[in-house]
Amino acid sequence: MAAECTWAPQDLTANNAGCPPIPDDDYIKRYQSNPELWPVEFFVVAYRRIKIPSTQKKETQILVRRSANGTSKFGLGTGVPATRWIPAGASPPRGYEAAKPEVTFDACNYPEFPEGEASWSYAKIDIRKDAFSETADVDDPDLQRYASRIRDELRTILYGKTKDGDALSAFERNTYDVVQKILGCSNSIAAIQGSLRMSGLFAKIDEATEHRFVDFEDAPPPSTLAESARIYTMFPQMPCPMPLPSTNAEELRDEIESRPARMLKSGRDPHKDRYGRVHTHISTNNVSNTIHGVYLPFDVTKTLGLAGDTPPAFDLFGTTEIEREWVSLIEMGVLEADGASIGTADTKPTFISGFIVRQLVKEGIIEV
């Protein structure tokens, strides 16, 4: 029988019983002392309740796409960073620009940094506020307006939570302050729009009629999305030692494939770091995978409730449709086989956001 593997939102600066104390120069503590260092990413979590024709039983399903990097079988495929790291000196990808003022961080600050190597640096980049309006192939004024309303509602919700500061821990307050500052910038609309776009929910079925998989009049009100939104800090299982910037793609894939065997041989705990902090997911060498994630649960039971109602996925600025699929929370390991009990299996190899979705179920945000 597999060992239980659970996660709950955690204070990543707090010491854990039976583990060494977290040092003052820990990278999370550095992030906390300078909130500009935190990556922030937005995710749409599309789900539905559907009756299975063969059994006549209802189950809750999540809309996912196959993971391309080999760290897990499935991912939400909707994550869009508002701000993240890239190697210093690299050109920002399409739709992004260097943070102003410049923000940098040395690789040697991460615990997985290879001993004896010369350090390199990362630089912050931010999504551009005109990321989608600059080219006609991805410009969608209606989706931008919907994203803008969601952003306004999120700001209101977060203001209410931070106003009652006594109810928050120092880590929670810092997290909300970081996200609130991001939402205070107009480019956050582009990050939310990008996540909605990648979800495929608003993809047009028929260009002639402008009909979408989810039409705006049938979509949840922005206030509903904001009220159900949750902010969770993702803490990844990183490669150790950290691959050098010169490592090629094949070597990076080999590292991911061989990591479980190497961890077993070395005695490294695959579920926690040496300070007892629980990993939420398996990561590549991308240091931006330690993030404050803003999750927007999106119930499409009434609009995409039939077996064949499966919108496509898109890359952030891509126009080629990518296959998506509905997968049950049971198959993901989020729930036990009865479809009602909270699962205790390790979701990391199966679903990148498994622990996150499990927490959304625990909090009653996603109905089962």
pLDDT by position in tens, the chain (length 368): 457 899 999 999 999 999 999 999 999 999 999 999 999 999 999 999 998 888 888 899 999 999 988 899 999 999 999 999 999 999 999 999 999 999 999 999 999 999 999 999 999 999 999 999 888 889 999 999 999 999 999 999 999 988 876 789 999 999 999 999 999 999 999 999 999 999 999 999 877 778 899 999 999 999 999 999 999 999 999 999 999 989 999 999 999 999 999 999 999 999 999 999 999 999 999 999 999 999 999 999 999 988 778 999 999 999 899 999 999 999 999 999 999 999 999 999 999 999 999 999 999 999 98
Q: Answer positive or negative: Cα dihedral of 350, 352, 355, 358.
A: negative
d(CA 179, CA 176): 5
* Cα of 249 vs its chain's centroid, Å: 22
User: How far is residue 174 from each of residues 11, 168, 179, 201, 260, measured CA to CA in Å?
Assistant: 11, 9, 9, 32, 34
Peptide bond preceding 241 in cis form (omega within 30 of 0) = yes
Any residues with CB less than 8 A from the CB of 33 and at least 6 apart, and which?
none
Q: How many other CB atoms are there within 10 angstroms of residue 125's CB atom?
A: 23
- Six token digits for residue 143: 């989706």
Residue type, 122: Y
Question: Which candidate, 293, 181, 274, places its Cα nearest to that of 234?
Answer: 293
Pairing of strands 40-51, 291-299: parallel
Specify the 3-state DSSP secondary structure of 313. Answer: strand
d(CA 303, CA 39): 33
Q: Which residue has the tokens 């990076």?
A: 252
d(CA 100, CA 83): 11
d(CA 250, CA 273): 26
